[in-house]
Structure 1
Amino acid sequence: MTEQNWAGSYTYRARSIHRPDTVDAVRRIVAQVPKVRALGSRHSFHDLPDSTGELISLEALPRSVRLDTENRTVTVSAGTLYGDLATELHRAGWALGAMASLPHIAVAGAIGTGTHGSGDRVGSLAAEVTGLTLIDPDGELRTLAADDPDLPGAVVHLGALGVLTEVTLRMEPTYEVAQYVVDDVPWEYVLTELDALTSAAYSVSIFARWNAPTVQVWLKSRDGEAGLPVGTPARHKAHPGGRDPVNCTDQLGEPGAWYDRLPHFRMGFTPSSGREIQAEYLLPRTHAVAAFEALRELGPIIAPLLQACEIRTVAADELWLSGSYARDTVAIHFTLAPEPVKVTALLGRIEEALAGLEARPHWGKWFTTPAAAIAGMYPRMADFRALVRRYDPAGKFSNAFLQRVVLGE
């Protein structure tokens, strides 16, 4: 088998990939094999989803979107892409409060790795979960409702508890967003006015080169107004990586549906060739300025490998393995050239520069942070390990990543 992830940065080593087209078929496979993991949209950049046994792709399973307007929730099949879910919700007059920056990723994988939305008051995508259903090691369905004490530990699941079949999310009435881009914002403004900058709109993204004196700021406003920072308001549509913006969502203050403004890229379009490596670090907001200053010192060695770097804020949540667990967060996301040896060395330098700032690496992206250091940044890590032992005592869903990084085996 020579199948790879979306970015081409990892080749799966499992014996085979199954593509069942019914949940019952998934249950039979899970019950019969000794080792198995689930694959969604393949946006993890390393061996997190892999298995020494079998892989089950969710891509052929039927898609379902069930609205509960009384409770303001929507239940979706786990392999549903955020873009497809958004289209169905908007058509029915509803919306999500947070949206994946790329609408091409699957719900199960996004929540399972703690992938986040963007905004001072916007939590991670996982924070919108109010329930889920998974297949346990015996092939039986297990549902966790909003009041289940296991749910806060099971949402950011890393695939360790079973194969998800459905996820229930909060929803709200549909709304519009206007998007603005401001160029040439001085770093001095970012460092001294960070709170004003990130609160200037519902969602704010800062794009930094680290070796330049200015940054570019994207602001997404739900009320049509945004407090534009010092800088030069863009007069033409922009691309966050400086490329042709034809497939980016509309900007220049033109209002549009939430699902066509909160992501940077339009649905139905793959935003890059995928030939890249991504890394991301989530720090307490209180450490943001120190982190920025440390990374600016590394600007000359970051720039040669950097395709784009996006800085966002994320509201705190109570999900055990969320990067935003118990703290308001600043997320620093790197899109890097597909040069593994050089990127690995660079990440070591970045992590050294961020040492002491409680920089939790994104579970699905590249990092070199030791497992002991990661465990020390998650107060509920021991509880998560106990949850895994209870749900999967024989380790059917375990793999090398979990043993190396999470479970301490």
Structure 2
Amino acid sequence: MSTTAPDPLPAPASTGRAGWVTDVLAGYERLTLPLHPDFEGEVVATLVRRVRPHAPADDAGIDLLYVHGWTDYFFQTHVADFWEGMGVRFHALDLRKYGRSLRPHQTPGFVTRLRTYDEEIEAALAVIGHGAGVATDRRLVLLGHSTGGLVLSLWAHHRPGRADALILNSPWLEFQTRKVGRRVLEPSVRAHAALAPRSHLVNVDLGYYVRSVSSRYDGEWDIDPVWRPDEGFRATPAWLSAIFTGHERVARGLSIEVPVLVLLSTRSTPPVRWSEEMLRTDAVLDVEGVARRTTQLGRLVTVARIEGALHDVTLSALPVRDVVARETERWFRAYVPPRPPAPAVEAEPDQQGWRRWFGRRFGA
């Protein structure tokens, strides 16, 4: 994989909504979010949503923003269907230099600080109606997968009161070799980041995870090989240094005030050689190391360990996905109940009727 990638987006067709154009996913539209340029030039993020000709009658008064993981982008339309089926307005964000937001002049996935992503998160929330300082009676749920789970955990910690709930799908809260491995690798990675931040590290992704999820191999999902290469993007030392900083911050303990749901597989399979076990385990993260870190997110954390789940638990086999949906909905109904119906507005009193009643009551 080269450090640049073509922009495979087709010429946009306007949907008639200001700035929104037809997306590559049928029935979806996207909005480009201009961001401050960096040393590589133009930078954008992309917000994606289902086309909604009319407001849903069963609107629960809840908005959800989904953020993907490393070497990833939004394509999980069945996840959007699940949330929209519960009356939740679903939006997904392709971060800068990923998926729909990747431009030919950019190093895929490259940032030097995870807080850089605050800019596009804030831009997306402003469009959804949850911008900083904006008063709204709608609730906000954040959903992050893998690296997106780490990013949103840090965001929620730094911005108390902005979200109402946080859902983490196999969040990358700890390095695969845990704290000891982090401490061994970190000095050399940080030194390398200072000298050659965009150079390539040794690629340890052998493509086994994509094999387990892509319909081109043993999986069932249609995944764009440009936006999600089989062996992933080549990691850079500056990016990995930013990840280490995020892991260290989680290790010191966060103070997320809202309810948190963490969805994890029960087992991991080291991605050193292909195994059929990779079709029913997490072949990316060390789930035990992540599970131990979940207690340091906040005061109210629910951990659901899903037997047979893949790294992205929502891409698991159908029976496993049913368990994921059931556990998610049970937690959601308990901690983020639908908005109560608005109180009925009393009609203006009938003035003539009021006068007649007053006359009978008081002899007027």
> Fold-level match, TM-score > 0.5?
no
The structure with the greater share of residues assigned to strand is 1
Structure with more helix by fraction: 2
Pair member with larger Rg? 2
| TM-score for the superposition, normalised by structure 2 | 0.35
Higher relative contact order (CA 8 A, sep 6+): 1
